[in-house]
Amino acid sequence: MAAYTLQRCLGAVKVIHKCGSHSFIARRSLLSTAYTDSKLWDAREKDHQNLALLAALMDRTYDRNFPVSSLSISRFVDNISSREEVDQAEYYLYKFRHSPNCWYLRDWTVHSWVRQCLRYGARDKALHTLKNKVQYGMFPDDFTFNIMIDSFIKDEDFKGACSVVEEVMLQESFDLPTTQILSLYALSNYLATKPELSMSEERALGASLLISGLKQDSSIGLSAQLLGCALLGKVEMAAGIHAVFRGMPLMWTPGYLGRALAVMERVAAAPGDGKLSKDAVDYLEGLLQDLSSASDSSSGEDDESGGEEGKKEEEVVVDEDDQAERDKLPLYASRFKDLSGQLQSRGKVDPSPLQVLVSSLVQQSLASAEGPDMEQYQRKVGEWEAERQQLIRREKEMRERAEEERRAHQAAKAAAKQG
């Protein structure tokens, strides 16, 4: 309830600022209240069940090695009414995933789970199940992803928002423009805080930036692609191409820095309006300088010491393709200088930072992109409802049929005893 009022107030404040300056207030949610509130979801037909009874039923079914139906787990998740029950539901989701029916975990169950977690303040729980999607079978659809990212952005938790965006990237579900805009916003704000990034985080960020930027054709998309390729190139130089694409939907051909330079070339040659943010170009420049100086110093050391054991082992494994990449570094550096010169001369470098670009994009396009999303959501909720009712009907029919058979069987036994 408190969340509702806060959202409404912020929505109002956002409207005032929309026609004003570029100053950005602290707590604001990007998606409109109509998008994120659960009126439509709560308007579904309620199926009140006692959670304890359901839990007992599920335990009995698991003990006897029978499959639990997707309807039981969806009923359990729908009827959560407190924080403790969220934990119980998590356990049952885990058990369902590890049962023969794991394929049949419904979309609406996942959506309901996320909504319930957000309602009862268990957002970290939702993030935990999302991160371990293999163990919990949590594969939300686009709308649910949007709601999650928005909830994180509202609380300025950009690190959490970036984890969700990473999951979206692993599912490659950047189809809706709302998802693209939200994820670019989260990523740019996270990068603006200049965090310390480990290699795996860099890899995830780079991949998310690249794949979300590929969908957008504007300057923000191109800058995101450039930054993503630069980050991935950094990881590639440090740890080899296998470390880059293992477990990620990325191409395995080596040469991510080459791809970054190809983006710059495309922007320089394209006649349109696409520009590259200065942030991205500066980052690539700094990266190339770091790498060149590092390689110079390390090659100097190699000549002297002749290589210790550990480094020699790595070199043996990392050989061939990766060595070829590292040798191309001076080539990249010189090509970068040419291309950046070209971009400057054609005025294709946008001096505003990435964050500002994204915010302007948000103000322009988010409201219009939300419309078709909401219609599709309404349609989907209708379909889910129909499916749920069909499942309930089918369960009732099967129960009736089993009852009838049992009665017939008993009648036959009684008749046999008498006769």
- C-alpha distances (whole Å) from 288 to each of 152, 243, 334, 369 are 33, 20, 10, 38
- One-letter amino acid at 121 equals G
Applying CB under 8 A, which of residues 57, 71, 192, 214 lies at the interface with other proteins?
Answer: 214
Cβ of residue 247: shortest distance to other proteins, in angstroms? Answer: 7
**CA dist., res. 217 & res. 219, Å (int):** 7
**245 sits near other proteins (criterion: CB under 8 A):** yes
What character string, x for contact with other proteins (CB under 8 A) and - otherwise, covers 293-322?
------------------------x-----
Closer of 52 and 251 to other proteins (Cβ): 251
Provide the sign of the torsion angle of the four alpha carbons 236, 239, 241, 243, taken in this order: negative
Binding residue for other proteins, selected from 99, 109, 189, 277, defined by CB under 8 A: 99
What b/e string do you get for 16-30 counting C-beta neighbours within 10 Å, with b at 16 or more? eeeeeeeeeeeeebb
Contact in structure between 111 and 144 (CB atoms under 8 Å): yes
In sequence order, what are the beta bridge partners of 277?
Answer: 350
Of positions 83, 98, 379, 413, contacts other proteins by CB under 8 A: 98
Rounded-to-integer distance, Cα 291 and Cα 230, Å: 12
Among 103, 141, 110, 142, CA closest to 126: 110
Instruction: Name which position in 211, 261, 267, 284 contacts other proteins (CB under 8 A).
Output: 211
Binding characters for other proteins, 110-149, by CB under 8 A (x = yes): -----------------------xxx---x----------
Structure tokens at 203: 């890899």
User: Binding other proteins by CB under 8 A: which of 9, 15, 40, 100?
Assistant: 100
Contacts of 157 (CB under 8 A, 6+ apart): none
The distance of closest approach from Cβ of residue 346 to other proteins in the complex, given in angstroms and rounded to an integer, is 27
**Residue 61 in contact with other proteins, rule: CB under 8 A:** no
The reply to whether 249 sits near other proteins by the rule CB under 8 A is: yes
The least distance separating other proteins from the CB of residue 64, rounded to whole angstroms, comes to: 14
List binders of other proteins among 252-281 (CB under 8 A): 252
Contacts of 387 (CB under 8 A, 6+ apart): 106, 108
Among 102, 324, 398, 408, binds other proteins (CB under 8 A): 102
Binding site for other proteins (CB under 8 A): 97-100, 102-103, 133-135, 139, 170-173, 211, 214, 242, 245-247, 249-252, 317
